[in-house]
């Protein structure tokens, strides 16, 4: 063998030895780093610099159930994994990303729990009773801890990013409870205090009706809610808020009262609108015939509403052409009547009305025969006519008076 051939063989052996030294040496339980080079539905392939690529099965990619490996990793992503099994003869290298993530997650989650840190998670699955997120371990968000308000259907929450806090952590039982509601509540309270410090009674602001209850409407005024009591929704009587406003409706409200100590804001929709007397100022005139509804009956007359929030008095003497002992014998609450405006004074919020002025007066004789006290037509008697009953004192007592002469 020539000297040149011996030199080439020696060089080749040297290169081969260097290559072997650069090949990673692995055994079960080792922690390795690599790059995702291929993704299939149920597994991901990782290049480690070893003789062949490692495989992470779907179940070892995450602590939560996945539909596909692409839900957990992407090509080109660097990952850290633990060697689950290795067989060089079959060129089989099984890795677990889940075991590494889980081991590190508990310490990280405990630190977040202790500090109250807010962090983001992606909803991996919607299950009975709530949502599931991968936080290195399986994190559960109960339905009651997702939003500040009740959510009936969570089907569209999968894939959403939520901001959460660790509500409860139990490493021994592999239990992690997360809450977005706590985050939202804290932010709401902070925003509420800020807005309440800036609000002043008498302010008129824009708001959005958030929800309705039998006793009133809650209106969002910039991230916090104020209550419009049912009596403050409209100038006229309101049986239920839903009769006047609806959820999502934009409304103007006037701030009535702010009480930071109990976090209460009292608002009024009707106070932010022109009052009924202001609106009616140019609407009615003296001598006009109007239609109204009897709202209240009292001993001296009847109050008739001629416009929402505008009531006028029909004095008992103005109810009918005949004598009326009590308004109850002629009118009833809720009855629609026609009335003539005798005096309209919006500045003093006063209207005088007359029902009888809208009716033609009956003849004098008929008025005389009109019943008093509401007892119906006067009953006939057997008494003689008035003319036959006329007499003088002399005719009646003449014989008795003569002795005094």
pLDDT tens, residue by residue, 348-379: 889 999 999 998 877 765 555 555 544 444 44
Of the candidates 289, 291, 311, the residue with the CA atom closest to the CA atom of residue 301: 311
- Give pLDDT, residue 7: 40
* CATH number assigned to the domain covering 199-272: 2.40.50.140
Strand-strand pairing, 161-170 and 119-127 = antiparallel
Q: What is the pLDDT of residues 249-265, one digit of tens each?
A: 999 999 999 998 888 99
Going by pLDDT thresholds of 50, 70 and 90, the confidence category of residue 247 is very high
Does domain 280-358 fall under CATH 2.40.50.140? My reply is yes
Same fold, 101-184 and 199-272: yes
DSSP, residue by residue, 141-164: EEGGGT-SS--S--TT-TT-EEEE
99 Cα distance to chain centroid: 43
What is the per-residue pLDDT for 93? 93
Query: CB-based burial of residue 385 (10 Å sphere; 0-12 exposed, 13-18 middle, 19+ buried)?
Result: exposed
Where are any strands of DSSP class E within 158-237? 161-170, 175-179, 204-213, 216-220, 225-229
pLDDT at 6: 53
For the segment 103-120, the average pLDDT, to the nearest whole number, is 92
DSSP one-letter string for 301-343: EEEEEEETTEEEEEEGGGS-SS--S-GGGT--TT-EEEEEEEE
Closest by CA position to 181, among listed 158, 194, 163: 163
> Is-contact 241 229, C-beta < 8 A?
no
Classified as helix, coil or strand, 178 is: strand
d(CA 118, CA 179): 10
Question: What is the arithmetic mean of pLDDT over 394-400?
Answer: 46
Q: Tens of pLDDT along 321-330? A: 999 999 999 9
pLDDT tier for residue 105 given thresholds of 50, 70 and 90: confident
Distance, CA of 228 to CA of 257 (rounded, Å): 11
Answer whether residue 402 shows pLDDT above 80.
no
Which pair of tokens denotes residue 142? 């109960």
Of all residues in the chain, the percent with pLDDT exceeding 90 is 57
All structural domains of the chain with their residue ranges: 101-184, 199-272, 280-358
How far CA 42 is from CA of 85, 236, 360, in Å, comes to 18, 67, 95
Q: 101-184: what fold?
A: OB fold (Dihydrolipoamide Acetyltransferase, E2P) (2.40.50)
pLDDT in tens, 134-167: 998 899 999 999 999 899 999 999 999 999 999 9
pLDDT bucket at 235, cuts 50 / 70 / 90: confident
* pLDDT number for residue 172: 87
* Per-residue model confidence (pLDDT) at position 36: 94
- pLDDT, mean over the chain: 84
Alpha helices in 315-369 (DSSP H): 364-369
* 48: pLDDT strictly greater than 50: yes
Classify residue 216 by its DSSP letter: E
The whole-angstrom separation of Cα 215 and Cα 271 is 18
251: Cβ contacts below 8 Å, ≥ 6 apart: 206, 207, 208, 209, 219, 245, 269, 272
Total length of the chain: 405
Cβ(188)–Cβ(218) below 8 Å: no
In the DSSP assignment, the letter for residue 383 is P
Which of 122, 9, 14, 19 lies closest to 64 in space, CA to CA? 122
Measured on CA atoms in the order 310, 313, 318, 319, is the torsion positive or negative? positive
Q: Identify which of 288, 274, 279, 300 has the alpha carbon closest to the alpha carbon of residue 344.
A: 288
**pLDDT tens readout for residues 63-98:** 877 888 888 899 999 999 999 999 998 899 999 998
Bridge partners (DSSP) listed for residue 312 = 304
Distance CA 113, CA 196 (A): 30
Q: Please state the separation of Cα 336 from the chain's center in Å.
A: 38
Report DSSP state, residue 176: E
Dig out the tokens for 278 from the structure: 């202001």
Nearest CA-CA partner of 133 in 78, 183, 72, 77: 72
């Amino acid at each position: 063998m020539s000297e040149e051939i011996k030199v080439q063989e020696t060089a080749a052996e040297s290169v081969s030895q260097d290559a072997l030294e650069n090949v990673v040496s692995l055994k079960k339980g080792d922690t390795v780093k690599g790059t995702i080079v291929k993704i299939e539905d149920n597994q991901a392939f990782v290049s480690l610099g070893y003789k062949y690529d490692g495989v992470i099965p779907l179940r070892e990619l995450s602590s939560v159930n996945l539909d596909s490996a692409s839900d957990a990793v992407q090509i080109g992503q660097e990952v850290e994994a633990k060697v689950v099994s290795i067989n060089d003869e079959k060129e089989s290298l099984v890795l677990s990303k889940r075991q590494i993530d889980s081991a590190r997650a508990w310490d990280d989650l405990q630190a977040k729990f202790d500090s109250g840190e807010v962090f983001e998670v992606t909803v991996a699955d919607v299950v009975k009773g709530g949502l599931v997120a991968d936080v290195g371990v399986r994190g559960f968000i109960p339905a009651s801890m997702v939003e500040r308000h009740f959510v009936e259907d969570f089907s569209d929450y999968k894939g959403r990013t939520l901001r959460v806090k660790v509500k409860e952590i139990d490493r021994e039982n592999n239990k992690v409870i997360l809450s977005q509601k706590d985050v939202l509540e804290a932010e709401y309270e902070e925003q509420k205090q800020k807005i309440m410090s800036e609000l002043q009674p008498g302010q008129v602001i824009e708001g959005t009706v958030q929800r309705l209850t039998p006793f009133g409407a809650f209106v969002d005024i910039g991230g916090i809610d104020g209550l419009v009591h049912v009596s403050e929704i409209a100038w006229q009587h309101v049986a239920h808020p839903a009769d006047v406003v609806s959820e999502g409706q934009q409304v103007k409200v006037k701030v009535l009262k702010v009480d930071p100590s109990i976090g209460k804001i009292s608002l009024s929709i009707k106070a932010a609108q022109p009052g009924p007397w202001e609106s009616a100022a140019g609407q009615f005139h003296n001598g006009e015939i109007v239609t109204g509804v009897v709202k209240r009956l009292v001993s001296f007359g009847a109050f008739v509403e001629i416009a929402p929030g505008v009531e006028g008095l029909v004095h008992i003497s103005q109810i009918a052409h005949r004598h009326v002992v009590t308004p109850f014998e002629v009118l009833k609450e809720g009855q629609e009547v026609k009335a003539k405006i005798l005096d309209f004074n919006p500045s003093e919020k006063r209207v005088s009305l007359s029902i009888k002025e809208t009716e033609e007066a009956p003849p004098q004789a008929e008025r005389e025969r009109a019943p008093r006290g509401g007892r119906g037509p006067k009953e006939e008697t057997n008494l003689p006519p008035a003319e036959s009953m006329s007499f003088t004192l002399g005719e009646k007592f003449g014989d008795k008076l003569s002795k005094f002469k």
